[in-house]
Amino acid sequence: MSDEMKETMESESPVVVVGAGPAGLAAAISLARLGVETMLVERRAELSSLPRATAVSLRSMELMRSWGVEDAIRAGGVDVEWRGWQSETLATAAAGSMWPVGMPTREQAAVLSPTAPACVPQDHLEPVLLEHLRSLHATRVHLHTEVVGVENVPGGVEVVLRDVPTGAVRTVRARYVIAADGAHSRIRTALGIAMHGPDGLAHVVNALFRAPLWRVVGEHRYGIYSVEHPDGAGIFLPAGRGDRWGYGMWVDPHDVEGCTPERFVRRIRAGAGIGDLDVSIERTGAFSFAAQLAERFRAGNVFLAGDAAHRVTPRGGTGMNTAIRGGHDLGWKLGWVLRGWAGPELLATYESERRPIAAHNVARSADPNGSTRETADELHVDLGGRIAHVWVRASGRRVSTLDLLGPGLTLFTGPDSTPAPPNGGPPVSVCSLDAVSARAIGIHGSGALLVRPDGTPVQRWAHEATTAA
């Protein structure tokens, strides 16, 4: 033990979540909402101030709605249509053209869901989720705490934690560990889990800045802009309220150091088509594209989530959403097992169900044309087979069938349904629908539908016969 490791103390926690990014926060929230005591540790002293991802997909927003934070999330975003827009400059946007990015428009979303995709920077979304997690009072949050050791042991996992400011070390014994510690996951490396797929696919330099660009684009409000002016070719991204923007361009890796703030200002003005545009650069950076998938998502009682399990390029805007969905999936499944609602075999479905989605998004992000996709080609990937959204009346108010999903199983019935809820296992809430609404989600006659908390059907009664969904 080094000199800075001053003291070792032992404690216990059913679950330790490592990393307070989208995957870790989603997993911890899902566990906390089931009343499972959890410890969340994060190496950073505070959450990132970088906008990073801005595309919050339809299904991700449905989860935000189910957690009661939809309005708080949207409060930090901008009102745009999730389409791409291509033009010579931003000033000539009226002469440009639209391209689909795989997400539904607001009009399409109104038919599909009780909510819609959002354009919200990650540095707003994460603090909202962290505040919500703390309000649930089931999670101990330790910032500025890093993992320096992890080992599967009989009955669980031993995690060695180090308090960064003091150097104090303690050991925590957990039943399960969720490694959501990022693309360069120390836990994944310690477990010997390899990543497969290309790295260094492209090299990008970017700038976070403020400039009055909304008045430049006018009514053409979109989630991503591609401009072709030779002196400013690149991508403009809305990055939050107050005319906060990101600008990025592809470069030769040897040119990264030459991208000074002054050069960015010149290129932003050229790309905007406004020679005297008032530009305030907040920070600049560089990164490379990777499209990689972990060879497995689990080692013993340690599970990989988010970027630790799958790295995608920005193409398609799927990275944060894949992380949120994966964290939620793993969280409720661990919660069910720890509550005694399901056996440990349920945990095998985390990788079997999430890996195909992650593999699809990794492959899409490696495609140079991965940002361009028709909604019909990608919507099923995002929604993941959940039941249909239908507006119904429940307890005197208008709600979506998705709003009726409970923490356990939900049994949807029609006016003529007769099946009894299953005995044992997770709790079952029964929701009786009128004949038209029941038919809209696939219930006919005396049939019924049993649904998981993520909206996935698990059993369907067709009239009097019982069949697997």
The model's pLDDT over 174-233, given as tens digits with 9 standing for 90+, comes to 999 999 999 999 999 999 999 999 998 989 999 999 999 999 999 999 999 999 999 999
pLDDT of residue 256: 60
Confidence band, pLDDT 50/70/90 cuts, at residue 370? very high
b/e 134-168 (16+ beta carbons within 10 angstroms → b)? eebebbebbeebbbeebeeeeebbbbbbbbeeeeb
How are beta strands 222-227 and 234-238 bridged, if at all? antiparallel
Q: Where in the chain is the domain with CATH 3.50.50.60?
A: 10-77+120-198+292-383
CA neighbor of 326 nearest in space, from 4, 7, 21: 21
The helix-helix angle for 122-135 and 22-32 (nearest 10°) equals 20
Mean pLDDT of the 115-142 span: 97
How are beta strands 292-294 and 280-290 bridged, if at all? unpaired
pLDDT > 90: percent of the chain: 89
pLDDT of residue 463: 66
Q: Where in the chain is the domain with CATH 3.30.9.10?
A: 81-118+202-289
Q: Where in the chain is the domain with CATH 3.40.30.120?
A: 391-468
pLDDT of residue 252: 82
Give the pair of three-digit tokens for residue 457. 């059907």
Is 44 a residue whose pLDDT tops 80?
yes
Cα separation, 84 vs 406, in Å, equals 36
pLDDT of residue 3: 43
**What CATH number should be reported for the domain whose range is 391-468?**
3.40.30.120
pLDDT of residue 466: 46
Q: Compare 252 and 85 and report the one with higher pLDDT.
A: 85
Q: What is the pLDDT of residues 235-294, one digit of tens each?
A: 999 999 999 999 999 888 777 666 899 999 999 999 999 999 999 999 999 989 999 999
Mean pLDDT of the 9-15 span: 82
pTM as predicted: 0.95
Residue 223 CA: distances (Å) to CA of 98, 171, 242, 367: 11, 45, 15, 20
In the chain, DSSP finds a helix count (H) and a strand count (E) of 12, 27
Decide: helix, strand or coil at residue 84: strand
Is 467 a residue whose pLDDT tops 50?
no
Is 464 a residue whose pLDDT tops 80?
no
Q: Compare 239 and 466 and report the one with higher pLDDT.
A: 239
* Average predicted confidence (pLDDT) for the chain: 94
Is 10 a residue whose pLDDT tops 70?
no
**What CATH number should be reported for the domain whose range is 81-118+202-289?**
3.30.9.10
Is 4 a residue whose pLDDT tops 70?
no
pLDDT > 70: percent of the chain: 96
Is 1 a residue whose pLDDT tops 80?
no
Q: Compare 425 and 212 and report the one with higher pLDDT.
A: 212
Cα separation, 422 vs 83, in Å, equals 44
Confidence band, pLDDT 50/70/90 cuts, at residue 9? low
pLDDT of residue 2: 42
Give the pair of three-digit tokens for residue 27. 């997993």
Q: What is the pLDDT of residues 307-360, one digit of tens each?
A: 999 999 999 999 999 999 999 999 999 999 999 999 999 999 999 999 999 999
How are beta strands 118-119 and 97-99 bridged, if at all? unpaired
pLDDT of residue 253: 75
Is 6 a residue whose pLDDT tops 60?
no
pLDDT of residue 5: 44
- The correct answer on CATH 3.20.20.70 for the domain covering 10-77+120-198+292-383 is no
